[in-house]
Chains A and B, each alone.
Chain A
Amino acid sequence: MTESNNTLGTQVGKCPLSRRKFLKCLLAAGAVATMPCGLLRPMSSRAEEIVYEGGYEFFRNACPRNCYDTCSIKTSVKDGVIQFIEGATESTFTRGGLCVKGYGYTRRPYSPDRIKYPMVQEGRGTGNWKRVSWDEAMERISKKLLEIHDKDGTLLGLALSKYSGNFGITNYGVEGMMTSLGYTTRLTGTPCWPAGIDAQNFDMGDMWCNDPEDMVDARYIIAWGANPAWNSVHSVKYLYAARDRGAKIVVIDPILTQMAAKADEYWQVKTSADGALALGMARYILDNDLYDKDWVAANSIGFNAFAEYLKNNVTVAWAAKESGIPAESIVKVAQEFATAKPATIWIGYGLQRHVNGGATVRAIDALVAMTGNVGKTGGGARYGHLQTWGFNYHALLQKQPEGAKGVPGKAEVKGDFTFTSDDAAVDYSDRILNINKTAQVILDADDPPIRLLWVSCKNPFSQDFDRNKMLKAFEKLEMVVTVDQFFNQTVEMSDIVLPVTTLFEEWTINASYWHYWLSINEQAIEPMYEAKSNIEIAAALSKKMNELRPGSCTFPTEIDTKEWMIKEFNQGVYDLFGIKSWEDLRNGPVKAKMHPASWVDLKFKTPSGKYEFKSELAEKWGHKALPEFKAPREKYDKYRLLTPHSKFGIHSQFINLDWSEEFNPKPFVYLHPKLAAEKSIDDGDTVRVSNTYGEVIITAKLSTVVPPDAIVMYEAWFKNNPYNVQNVVDDTSSDMGAFKTGQPGVAIHDQFADVAKV
């Protein structure tokens, strides 16, 4: 990095975004008129001055977060500093606007709290951070890795904790880096959506949702355990548009969410009883011949078995009892749903974070299929898709060093975002452990134990479960290296932290698991301070490893993020998006040339090639072949505890920014006034939420939006605040997930706790 860049970075970093500073340097450049921040300047503008829009460099970026909307961003830069960002207008999905999180990006690279340099902590949790050079950081890590190799004969003592913190495709270089070091321990699976993925795979052979923009053509939309008003704000306009054309919106959720408040009808379902509700509706539809007989006959197998199951085990009255929803409502909506053409159900991820999550999704899929809504524009059982992710995964695909040893035999690394597979015979494999039980597997891993944990694009202390168990697990680790931007709770418990780039400081490419657009992410500014992107970190590590022991790491030691971004493209991507080259994306995001309706050709990817109401594959994986009712988890404490997402953040990102603190300064626990009265808790009281796993001390807000038998806290990380919902959440598995994603999911919303005034 050149000296002048450093100076600019330091200048800006010291007093970021001081308009005085901008005004000064722009006055110097004689260009004060052109800044929007220069609005507060003399009224007398000379007629020939351009008052807005002048002298900016524009860049294309994409939000790489784990979010449905994956917005296309247009970044305005002047003098090497980001002035402001906007949503790209070329994308009909983003349509010129971002969200409360995305607009915080203008602040994020320049946040005073940002980690600037590699740092070493003398004593985890002490806060005694010492700056070190990249060279020293890499040396410490390399020496540890070589020590592990020499002690164990393998690198299985190195484990990777990574998930969705950054979905820029080149960030799979972190997994590539692991491979390039040898056979290591991989925490596979996904905490997010695995049960539903398995369910959709059992039913249809893949998870493949319609283009969300086709929701305008739906005549009936059920948002089931999904809250787009908080988690996919760009989708809401399509629901509204559908309603403007006469569609009905029904929201089914234990909490009266923001989306519920905007629905036509809201059902406050009993948590985890959604499967029963769906089956009850199916029974009614079956009894009244409202299902699409032709579609079912031509495109599915096992319907008769399903019908038998319904007749013998499901009644509307039973569904009403299980779910709490009155029978007459179930009947009415079932009738409406079955007769609206087309009808669609948006299956949320929260819905399947239960011990019966997969079974629930299968039941809802069945509802959509039996009414003939699969393969129709405006219809479908919408969950997610990965159709537009056909990149080369060049960053991911590395080779182990010569002579590397691991777990004998071949183990298949599966994952929700794993697109490559290696059919070649191998002698050794990585050790595969469940990411959803990170703390437990660290505690249990032996021969060898996990000695070094590399954390990137993840925050185990904020996002993994049973925080007290995680603390114990970390005691076993000999070294923890975290790659991150802020001193969050995982970084606090790390030995070494490496500063990583924001989206503006690297080249990468982004697709969405919801909409059908593709966005390039150009490097808009020089990396601040000494931040490096994940692949640059891999290169640096490789360089040091090979210095100390030639051949110990195969990752290229010199890389260029732009080149590596280009290497991800292939003809398949170009054809799908109708572009000639990646350069076309510099003019704006592009949409895949796909039919808006998934499964429009009705060629399912199941063993039978049809929609499988009865799935032998499901049975093989230990589930029922039919979408049968599976009982919810038994309570282990007084009230149900729900810890959904906040609208202000994506997990532990954004809420810590000072800009965000202005609008959302502190966390709360939401209690229904009835529950609060039982416990003599007033609005604003400090309370203790506790169960056998731990406790959270927090301020209470009383609200009727939460059910009277539940405690609701939104998972988030607030700066300088020990608030962490994982203190009271355990790592019980959900039913499905192992088939497609390698590990079962986790029943995040099947938690229970008590609450008392402090």
Chain B
Amino acid sequence: MKKQYAFYIDAERCIGCFTCAMACKNQYHQPETVIWRQVYPIKAEIYPHRERAFYSLACNHCENPTCLNVCPVVAYSKREADGIVIHDQEKCIGCGNCIRSCPYGVPRYNPVLKKAEKCSFCWQRIDAGLKPQCVQSCPVEALQIVDLATFDKPDAVQYPPGFPKYPKLNPSVRFLVPRLPKIIGREDI
């Protein structure tokens, strides 16, 4: 398999601190409403305690990205060497098709530049031998980058509950699902 960078989200280690989300904003200063990495709480129907388990999601750099396929101006490209999907804003005309078409809601509309934009996997940092800013910032190493060509954690999944399944896109992400502690409740109430 070709090298394919992916985000590995260990939702068991993740403490939902939003450090990754803010680290990205700190790096790229996106204007208001433009969020590249969002931390989504897992609803109580999946993890019974509200706002206590999260998926930190940015771009999934899919194998067969919808954004790339639907873009009328070929503003997207997928890097041969490592599978990172890059958006070239010079070409973008702000048609919004990628924004509408990505099932994970990844590309966002930048109202100042009037163009789409999304997580770039910090490809300049990658090329300089650094980790993406979000990955570096995580205080518990819950957010990591892996190469799917060599990734072999047996308890990792691609589509945990709460993350929609799109095999045709084949998003490059893997997850560990969060566990529950043993809970000793009060006997008096």
User: Do A and B come into direct contact in the complex, CB within 8 Å?
Assistant: yes
**Residue of A with least CB distance to B77:** A43
A171 within 8 A of B: no
**Is the Cβ of A703 less than 8 Å from the Cβ of B19?**
no
Kindly list chain A residues whose C-beta atoms are within 8 Å of the C-beta of B181: 251, 260-266
Instruction: Name the residue of chain B whose CB is nearest to the CB of A249.
Output: B181
Q: Which of A85, A240, A264, A703 contacts B49 (CB 8 A)?
A: A703
User: What chain B residues lie within 8 Å of A659 (beta carbons)?
Assistant: 22, 25
| B18 & A647 in contact (Cβ 8 Å cutoff) | yes
**Is B83 positioned at the interface, with any CB of A under 8 Å from its CB?**
no
Interface residues of B in 55-108 (CB under 8 A from A): 77, 86-90
Residues of A with C-beta under 8 A to B19? 97-100, 102-103, 233
Q: Is the CB of A265 within 8 A of B52?
A: no
**Chain A residues within an 8 Å CB radius of B23:** 97-98, 103
Instruction: Report A-chain residues with C-beta under 8 Å of the C-beta of B186.
Output: 268-270, 323-325, 707
Q: Separation in Å of the B69 CB from the closest CB of chain A?
A: 18
B49→A663 contact, CB < 8 A? no
Which of the four size classes fits the interface of chain A?
A: 35 or more
A43 to B130, CA, bound (A): 20
Residues of chain A with a CB closer than 8 A to B187's CB: 320, 324-326
Contact A39 B189 (CB under 8 A): no
Q: Could you say which of A52, A97, A260 has the most chain B C-beta atoms within 10 Å of its C-beta? A: A97
CB distance from A715 to the nearest CB of B (A): 17
The answer to whether A701 and B50 have CB atoms under 8 Å apart is yes
Given A53-B128, A234-B139, A258-B16, answer yes or no on A103-B184 (Cβ-Cβ < 8 Å).
no
Give the contacts of B109-161 with A (CB-CB under 8 A): 112-113, 117, 120, 122-125, 127-128, 130, 133, 136-141
Q: Quick one: which of B13, B21, B48, B113 contacts A100, CB cutoff 8 A?
A: B21
State the total of A-B contacts with C-beta under 8 angstroms: 197
Q: Which residues of A, 653-696, contact B by the 8 Å Cβ criterion?
A: 658-660, 662-664
Answer yes or no: B45 CB below 8 A from chain A CBs.
Answer: no
Residues of B contacting A269 with CB < 8 Å?
186
Q: Give, as a whole number of angstroms, the nearest-CB distance from A705 to chain B.
A: 5
State whether A103 and B26 are in contact (beta carbons under 8 Å apart), knowing that A20-B113, A39-B124, A648-B18 are contacts in the complex: yes
Q: Is the Cβ of B39 less than 8 Å from the Cβ of A43? A: no
Q: How far is the CA of A40 from the CA of B124 in the complex (A)?
A: 11
With CB as the reference atom, state the residue of chain B lying closest to A648. Answer: B18
CB-CB under 8 A from A320, the residues of chain B are 187
Q: List 12 A-B contacts (CB under 8 A).
A: A19-B29, A19-B113, A36-B28, A37-B29, A39-B28, A41-B90, A96-B136, A233-B15, A251-B181, A261-B49, A321-B188, A325-B187
Query: Closest 7 CB pairs between A and B?
Result: A324-B186, A40-B89, A97-B137, A103-B22, A52-B124, A100-B18, A103-B26
Which residues does A use to contact B, with CB under 8 Å? 17-20, 36-37, 39-43, 51-53, 84-87, 95-107, 229-230, 233-234, 236-237, 240, 251, 256, 258-270, 320-321, 323-326, 329, 647-648, 658-660, 662-664, 701-705, 707-709
Instruction: Knowing that A268-B185, A662-B32, A707-B189 touch, tell me 16 more A-B residue pairs with CB under 8 angstroms.
Output: A39-B120, A40-B113, A103-B22, A103-B137, A233-B15, A237-B139, A260-B181, A261-B49, A266-B184, A268-B183, A326-B184, A659-B25, A662-B33, A662-B35, A703-B44, A705-B49
